[in-house]
Every structure is written in C-alpha cells, then in structure tokens.
Chain A
Amino acid sequence: MNDMRIVRKDVDMNDTKISAKGVQVFYGDTHAIKDVDVEIKDKTVTAFIGPSGCGKSTFLRCLNRMNDTIDVCRVEGKILLDGEDIYDKRVDPVQLRAKVGMVFQRPNPFPKSIYDNIAYGPRIHGLAKNKADLDDIVEKALRRGAIWDEVKDRLDAPGTGLSGGQQQRLCIARAVATEPEVLLMDEPCSALDPIATLQVEELIDELRENFSVVIVTHSMQQAARVSQKTAFFHLGNLVEYGDTEQIFTNPQDERTESYITGRIG
C-alpha cells in the first residue's frame, strides 16, 4: 500500500453508508449467510474476501436486492442504506438498484454500440434532458471508466467487440453513468489478464473519490492493494471485519490468519 491511500483514508472514513444487522440468507433449505453485521463506510473501498462458497457474493447481492430475481432465495434481518431499510415494502428494488450499481464477474456488455451501452441507464432513469446532455453523461462516464481515450473514435462500434479488459471498464463506466451512491463489484477482475486487472484496480481507487465501493475478490493481494476495509467471510459467517492493514498484518481471529497465510481456503 502506498502512502497516498493511507492519507486519503484518514480524511474519508467517517460516515456509514450501509449498515447490515443480523442478516440471514436462505437458498431453499440452505442457510447461506448466518447473522452478519457489517458497517460499510462512505467513500471507501471495502473488500469481501473468503474461500469459494463462503457467501461473500451472496451477501453482496443482498445489498442491491439482486437476490430478489432468484425465486428460492429468502433474506432476513435489516440492511440500512443511509438509515433506510432497503427491504422495506415501500422501497422499490428497481430504484434501489439505480442507487446501488453493480459490476459483475464476467464483462457483460449489451449487444449494442458502446454509446448505447453507457446511455442505457441514463435513458431508463431519464437523467438526460436532451441529446447534448446525454452525450456529456456518456463522455463523463467513459472518462471515469478510464476508457474514453480508447473508444472515443468508435462510439458506434459494438460493445461486444472490445477486449475483455476494455469490456469490463465499459461495464464499470455503464454502472457509473447512472450516478449511483454505492458500487458493488463481484470479482470484477477474475476474467481479466494482469494488465487489465491493474487498469481496473487503478480505476477502483479513483472511483473511491465519489462512491462507496464494495468489492468481492478471491485475490488477497488485490484486497490489500485496493481496499481500506476488509471483511473475511467463512462458511456463511462474517469472521472478522476491520481496517485492511490490520486484517492482513494482525488478524484477531485464528481462521482469518489461517486463510491469509494459506492454510485454509
């Protein structure tokens, strides 16, 4: 970790963005998440680490109610976004997802042009007053996605024609374009090569200025590189949650230490 990030961390980590209390998730009869409490800070990158099947992705999908699309999934407990329960009946999951954007494991650009991929969210939510406005939003999003320079001359080309790393940055730009408050990333680099991974990681660090970012990752190095807070999940339990530095250098729980040193996982 470089000094820059540590300086920023001191400035930014003040208020809580998402607060989860006693969250339980069931897939049919399987108890996937057991009693998880976690406080996610604003303008911070929070990493969820843990072995496969430990429930970190499941928990991430609870934060914008993507689990609603799975019939057998049931969520209990409270998840508060800015103090409001997102599982309250009055909350429309569609509007929630506009506020809590999501980037997926595999790049999934729509089979449309690069421009239409980015403009998709703003169009749905009516963010642009006219064409010029929309052009501005698209350019801003692509710049924030650190891909503007590569695609500015071919905005009409299909998004599926880009390379894997470009596609993933396009998807991040697409999520950013709807002006979310929280950005959830489900293993965003697992389908990318090291160079593309580096680009995406740099991008995540920049996004922290405007959003609260939650990232699920299998790579402990990645968690150490990009995050300020780290949560370790094991068998559906949140084992340990704290500053990234502390988790990696001085873990309190035996299981965390075993996982970080490579004895379990």
Chain B
Amino acid sequence: MPLLWLFILILALGLIGFILGRARALKNANGDIRLLHSLPTYYGSNVLLAILIPGLAVMVIWLILQPMVIQGQVSSMIPDTAYSDKGALNLVMSDVRRVAEGLDIAVEQGTLSHDQARDIRTELTDIRARLGAVGVALGSNVESYVLKAAQKYRTMNAVGNWMMTVAVLAAALAGFAISYMRTNKDMRARNSVEKVILGLLIAAASIAILTTLGIVLSLIFNTIEFFKLYPALDFFFGTTWSPSFGGGSELGILPLFWGTFYVSIIALLVAVPIGLFAAIYLSEYAGPKVRAIAKPLLEVLAGIPTIVYGLFALLTVGPMLMTVFGEDGGLGWMQGGRSVMTAGLVMGVMLIPFVSSLSDDIINAVPQAMRDGSLGLGATKSETVRQVVLPAALPGIVGAILLAASRAIGETMIVVLGAGAAAKLNLNPFEAMTTVTTRIVSQLTGDADFASAEALVAFALGMTLFVITLCLNIFALVIVRKYREQYD
C-alpha cells in the first residue's frame, strides 16, 4: 500500500475514533455534559490522539529502520571483487536501487508483467535498454549480481512495506481499542490531551535547540579536520591570506578579521548615532501621529533584503564616493568603487532600524515617573532626556548596540558587493578589503575538494565568527537582563 494511502487511512481512522469516543462519553453520561469530567471534544481528541500517535510513531520508526536493514542484507550479496572500498560499494548499491526502482516503474507502466519482472535475467534481456524505454537511464550495463541484488531488494521492500502496513494499522487499532474502552464520564480526558499538547510544545523547543547543537557540531568536526591539515597558530596569527587550491596556500585569519572589524566599526559609527537620535526623537518628542507614520517607515529599512543593500552599495554609494574621494575628485584616495567605506556606510544604514527600534522600546520602558520627577524640578525636556532618561536606558541601549554589532559582523551580501575581495591589513578606509564572511562564500563555491585545507578553512572561519557573535549576544543579553531588573 502506498505511504500516502496508509497515512490517509490512519487519519480517517482517527476521525472515526474522534466521533466514536465523543459519542461514547456522552452516552455514558446520558447526554448530560455537566456530568462529564471534560468537555465532549476532549474525549474525542483523546481517542484521536491514541490512534494517531502509535500509528504514526510505528510508521516513522519503520521507515527509518527498513532501508537500513535491507541495505545490510542486500549489500552482503555483492561479491567482494566488485568493489574496492566503501565508496565503491555505495555506488554499486545505488545502481541496485536504481535497477529495482526501474523494474517497479516498468511494471507500473505495463511494459513488464509481475512475473516477467521477477524472472528477468541479464543473460536473456538487455535490461539497460528495457529500463531506458520507461525513462530510467542506467550508466552501464547491468551486471548479473546487481540484478540479483535488485530482485532481492524488490522482494524485501515489498514484504517490508506490507508488514509495515499491518504493523501501523495494528498499532493504531490497539490505541483506538484501549482508549475507546477507557472512555467513560469520569475519565480525565482534558488532562491527558493537554499532556500531549505539552509534549508537542517541548518537541518544538527541542528541535530548535538540537538544530543549533547540530550546526555547532558540524562546524566543530570540520574545524578539527582543518586544524589537522593546517596549524592553528598560523591560522589565528597569520597575516597573509592567499589560498591556492594547488597547495602552498597561506590561510591567516588576521587580514579577514581586520576587514570584518573595520567594516563593522564604520557601520556602527553610522548606525548608532543616527539610530539613537531617531529613537530619542520618536519616543520623547514626536507626537502620536508622527510616531504612527515614522516608526513603521523606519522599520521598513529592516525588511529590505541585504542583497538589495549590496546593489545599492555597488551601484550608487561606491560611484558617489568615487566622485569625491577618487581620482576624479582630486583626492585620489580611492582606487575603485568597492571599499571598506562603501560597505560600512551601507551596512550602517541597514543597522539603523535595529538600533532605533530596540532603543525606542527601551526608552519607552523608562517609567514616566522619572520624567515627571525631573520636569517637576524645573528641568527642560532635553535635560530630562540627557540626564535622566538616557542614563536609565543606557544598559538597554548598549545591549541594542551589541546586537547590531553581531549583526554587522555576520553580514555577507553587502560586503561581497561593496567591500571587494582583496585581503589586506590596511588603515585606509577607501581601500578594498575583504571580510571573513565573503571568504567563506568564496572558499565553498566552485568545484573545491572538500577534504582540502583550502575548503575546510571555511568551517574554521565560520566557527571563529560564531564564537565571536555568540559572545557578543550573550554579553548583550546579560546587560539587557540586568537592566530589566531595575524597574520591576
């Protein structure tokens, strides 16, 4: 039975269970809802869940285990002479699967009958041509052991699927029977349904956390792999970045790190004053009408995709800076449109809404009593903002700035398009430089050998960035939390 049908069957069974469970509870209470422990829908839901959870659980576990078991069984049929290492065995096995699938499709389309498919022989039929006719292209002629393995694969799969259907239905029906029999007016259906919902919530939270863990682990393993090929000391303290896939590359992180740092600093120098002043205006001075229009408009900036900012940097800001600081402007500081300044300015614009929106919320959280107290002493509005509101909001604002900083460090598209690709340690902000993120992109795009230090260095770079932004984020959260306690 195809998987989809089985799934729908279980759902239908669940629906029936829902209706029956609800009806049984009502009948048990002689139709009087007040005699029930829970609302009737909870009894229905209880039966529904008792059908779906075992049924789907068996299905998922079976789907994970069955290929593993079959793989083990079938691969033992392949003669040792046919492969040299594990990779080659995998290639043979994928051939086996392809032939098996091809035979299935051929049967489905009617070019082969069931019996023909089962009895087919390499000696008698050109299987490659037959399967090619139904749209399954094979790389080479089918060896006889591949065909035998494929036949075994087909029968085991068929048996397995059939057994799975039985097992899933049995589990679902058992769940149905038990929960249906237990349904009576005193059963605490609401509590058990809520327990399941709690389980769902926990599962959702764990998936998010486990994913993070998985990402970190994959970074760590690849980073360790990299440090086996390239000395860590040279990586962290090397001042030259010149990867060459031919070998003999120098992979020092310092020039990249300097680029990231420089671009981020310029971005923050742009974003922090503008964002902060905008937040002060919006929260302290602007009337409700201006605020209602201006705040969403400012936050639209946060919704612009960074690649669009990158284009803006490349096509507008870069040439604009060139006319002032380039050869044409007479200063001659700038060689091309791509520079640290270009990327930094545009990234600063991107960060404005982060700083302003967060700071605005934090300034608004300062109690009105503080402002009243200051105004009541004869302070002007700006004195109140400068001397009472901002100091009170400062820890929160620092938190907002740190969050913006970690955003700046991780930003990629703007620097790819705006900052250039030359890795150098230079103080001139009008030089093209490159950042950690852009190098990760360039090391992993293209036909790189994933086992080489030149490709693996991307993971070490990513890990370094991850650690830095993680520290910044934790620092920011600690500060924001400390601030929160002040007025509770």
Contact = CB atoms under 8 A, between A and B. Distances in A.
A124 B377 contact: yes
A198 interface: no
B376 A110 contact: no
Interface stretch (A23-31, A170-178, A219-227): A170-178
A98 interface: yes
Interface residues of A, number: 29
A66 B374 CA distance: 11
Given A71-B287, A110-B392, A104 B378 contact: no
A28 B378 CA distance: 26
A96 B376 CA distance: 10
A111 B373 CA distance: 12
B367 interface: yes
B203 interface: no
Main secondary structure, interface of B, reads helix
Contacts of A97: 375-378
Contact of B377 (A111, A112, A160, A178): A178
Given A71-B287, A124-B383, A110 B370 contact: yes
Contacts of A111: 370, 391-392, 486
A94 B383 CA distance: 11
Interface in A72-107: 94-99, 101-104, 106
Contact of A94 (B287, B378, B391, B392): B378
Contacts of A64: 376
Nearest to A160: B486
A160 to B, nearest CB: 7
Interface string A100-128: 01111010111110000000110011000
B143 interface: no
A94 B380 CA distance: 6
A69 interface: yes
A78 to B, nearest CB: 22
B369 interface: yes
B377 A120 contact: yes
A133 B373 CA distance: 23
A125 B376 contact: no
Query: Most B CB atoms within 10 A — which of A66, A94, A96, A171?
Result: A94
Contact of B378 (A69, A95, A103, A110): A95
A94 B371 CA distance: 13
Nearest to B379: A124
Interface string B350-389: 0000000000000000010111111111111001000110
Contacts of A98: 377-378
Interface residues of B, number: 21
A200 to B, nearest CB: 16
Contacts, number: 72
Contact of B387 (A69, A103, A120): A120
Given A71-B287, A120-B387, A160-B486, A108 B372 contact: yes
A174 B287 CA distance: 30
A108 B367 contact: yes
Interface in A155-190: 160, 171, 174-175, 178
B351 to A, nearest CB: 27
Contacts of B287: 71
Interface in A21-77: 64, 66, 69, 71
A106 B383 CA distance: 22
A110 B366 CA distance: 11
A5 to B, nearest CB: 27
Nearest to A124: B379
Given A71-B287, A110-B388, A101 B376 contact: yes
Given A101-B378, A111-B392, 13 more contacts: A66-B376, A97-B376, A98-B377, A101-B376, A101-B377, A104-B376, A110-B373, A110-B374, A120-B379, A120-B387, A121-B377, A121-B378, A124-B383
28 contacts: A66-B376, A69-B371, A69-B372, A94-B378, A96-B378, A97-B375, A97-B376, A99-B378, A103-B376, A104-B369, A104-B373, A108-B369, A110-B374, A110-B391, A110-B392, A111-B391, A111-B392, A120-B374, A120-B388, A121-B377, A121-B378, A124-B377, A124-B378, A124-B379, A124-B387, A125-B378, A174-B373, A174-B377
